[in-house]
Structure 1
Amino acid sequence: MYSIKLLRLAHASSSCRNSYHSLLPTDSKKRRTWISYSLLVFPAASFALGYWQIQRRKWKIDLLEKINSRIPAKPIQLPHKFVPFLLVISSLFCIISVVSSSELPEFTHILVRGHFDHSHEVVIGPRSLIEDFIPFKGYGSEWAIRSPNKLLQSNMIRPSASGYFIVTPFYLEDRPGTSILVNRGWVPYGARDPIIRPDGQVEGVVELSGYIRYQEKPPTRIFGSQIGSLTCLDHANQNPHIRYPCRQIDKMSNDLKTLPIFLDADYESSVVGGPVGGQTRVVLRNEHASYIFTWFSLGTIGLGMWIYFFIF
């Protein structure tokens, strides 16, 4: 008798449970709501960013090709149209208005003729020697790190792993009273003072070629990021060196009363006993391939998880 009651109770419980589940929506209908569909925004955004990185990579490759074609190109004369109209007025007050940089594309090969004003040269640094344009056993190779024993060597001064870029105002011969900034090249720490390198302080009219450079972003670290002053031994003929942490063209041109045009002198402009020219390096990060992989991977994983949770 008790067994019959237990069977009836179990049957009733099973019937109630089945009727309850029949009233519930199916699993897929329960899960796929507007909230679940809104989650597709994340994989869609990842795929969109991946496609955007593909376009950015194409743009970066094209830019690198253009820059690499400018480096070996034959130098051209500096166009007159880049001399600001306010130069005539501002020169009366010995002030050059710095309102914009050169309109020439960066790394354009330029040929100029004129003379240096060594008494107002400044330095950028500390910087390491760029060896990209130094030929085997050429001038400057004695300081290079490519020596067999990996040590810096120099017969002129004590060895130094770092140094400075020497930036000097250069007065253009065809535009009297007009000067630009020229990075003559690199010198070790021990040759920073001009009295140590008198043979490199060329006088008179010279012709040199170099590459147009743009403003450089100041370093974010506090140490070494401030503009300072370095004394020189020849007080009568040489102003103290102003040390800039980077290529601050607007600040330099304003301090030295030059046009906001900056040239990196090429290696052929080097003078034995002076700065080592050719201190130009094309540094453009091209990591878009890794970004493409990252975004498409995140999009694929996100879409796969959505399908797993809301479809199957």
Structure 2
Amino acid sequence: MANCKTGLQFGIKILRRSLHTSPRTSRYIRQSELLKGNKESPVLKYAFLSIPVTTLGLGLWQISRLKWKESLIEELQIKTNLPTINLPEDLSELNDLEYRRARVKGRFDHSREMYLGPRSFLKGGDSTSTGGLMSPGAGGKSGYYVITPFILSDRNLEILVNRGWVPQDQKNPATRKQGQVTQEIILEGIVRHTEPRPNFVPKYQGGNMWSYRNLSEMSTVMGTSPVYLDACVDSDVPGGPIGGQTRITLRNEHLSYILTWLGISAGSSVLWWKKFVK
């Protein structure tokens, strides 16, 4: 192959010298040399090299993202399993207590019930597509979280409690009268903060329906303090919403991204080596 290239280069030089009086021939030769030069151009060579280098960098970055996501999931699981605390007197302390279990005593004001959704049913901190004993046929269905003002007994304070999930056909409280408890209860819940508004999700339009957890706006509309608890599953009331609707598992697809980027890097490296080195 090297001899062929050398011979071709020598032949072009001879043709250029012998046919330099022919503009058409000279133009043809220049075009041939340009095409050949492009094939071995350093610019083209390094441009192609940028593909395996860039995808390698993306693969290594996804490795760090995977470690970060696994650490975050572990942190959430640890927080939700720490000992239960009483709701602090200084509510600003809640800024550092998201995902901690807190205990409150009081009663619900069902007349101001709100709904957050639609939402899928969570079991064990993650969505499930199978029904279970907790809620016949709940798995895979869409429903709503029931958000109810909770009036504390030991202090002049009202907070918001996500009592849990109900299917669409039980959104109307008349269909679950047994679960509309009026007596004083002790409740344990997970401290939650405001969640970012998802893309393409409309802002609050008024009424008792919410598309996402906007704590400051919800508490203003309901006239409560900006405190929000997800009722734990052991705070369930027979016939009422299903508690334990705190998602403690996060979407983690970084491993597939790692395999994709490193695979592209390896494949393009082989092609580059065959094209420009071998």
Q: TM-score, normalised by structure 1?
A: 0.66
Query: Mapping of 1:153-302 within 5 angstroms?
Result: 161-176=141-156, 178-218=157-197, 220=199, 227=204, 242-302=208-268
Write the deviation string for residues 247-295 of structure 1: whole angstroms up to 9, x where unpaired.
2323312211223332110111111232222222334111111111111
By how many angstroms is 1:114 displaced? 2.6
Query: Mapping of 1:1-312 within 5 angstroms?
Result: 17=11, 20=14, 31=40, 33-83=42-92, 102-132=94-124, 140-145=134-139, 161-176=141-156, 178-218=157-197, 220=199, 227=204, 242-312=208-278
By how many angstroms is 1:208 displaced? 0.7
SS at match of 1:197: helix
By how many angstroms is 1:219 displaced? 5.4
SS at match of 2:264: helix
| Preserved CA contact (<8 Å) 1:83 1:259 | no
| Preserved CA contact (<8 Å) 2:102 2:190 | yes
| Preserved CA contact (<8 Å) 2:160 2:229 | yes
Write the deviation string for residues 175-201 of structure 1: whole angstroms up to 9, x where unpaired.
41x322110112333433334433322
Write the deviation string for residues 206-239 of structure 1: whole angstroms up to 9, x where unpaired.
21111123334545567xx57567xxxxxxxxxx
| Preserved CA contact (<8 Å) 1:182 1:262 | yes
| Preserved CA contact (<8 Å) 2:135 2:242 | no
Q: Distance in 1 between matches of 2:61 and 2:164?
A: 39
SS at match of 1:60: helix
Q: Please tell me the residue identity of whatever aligns with 2:273.
A: I
Name structure 2 gaps, 5 residues minimum: 1-7, 18-32, 126-130
Q: Distance in 2 between matches of 1:49 and 1:105?
A: 34
| Preserved CA contact (<8 Å) 1:28 1:310 | no
Task: State how many pairs are aligned.
Answer: 249
Structure having the larger proportion of residues in helix: 2
User: What is the RMSD of the two structures over their aligned residues, measured on CA atoms?
Assistant: 3.6
| 2:3 aligned partner | none
SS at match of 2:95: coil
Q: Distance in 1 between matches of 2:79 and 2:116?
A: 25
By how many angstroms is 1:170 displaced? 1.8
By how many angstroms is 1:54 displaced? 0.6
Q: Distance in 1 between matches of 2:185 and 2:106?
A: 6
| Preserved CA contact (<8 Å) 1:111 1:210 | yes
- Would the alpha carbon gap of residues 284 and 35 (structure 1) be closer, same or farther in structure 2, given more than 3 Å must change? same
Q: Please tell me the residue identity of whatever aligns with 2:68.
A: W
- Would the alpha carbon gap of residues 193 and 18 (structure 1) be closer, same or farther in structure 2, given more than 3 Å must change? closer
- Would the alpha carbon gap of residues 105 and 298 (structure 1) be closer, same or farther in structure 2, given more than 3 Å must change? farther
| Preserved CA contact (<8 Å) 1:112 1:207 | yes
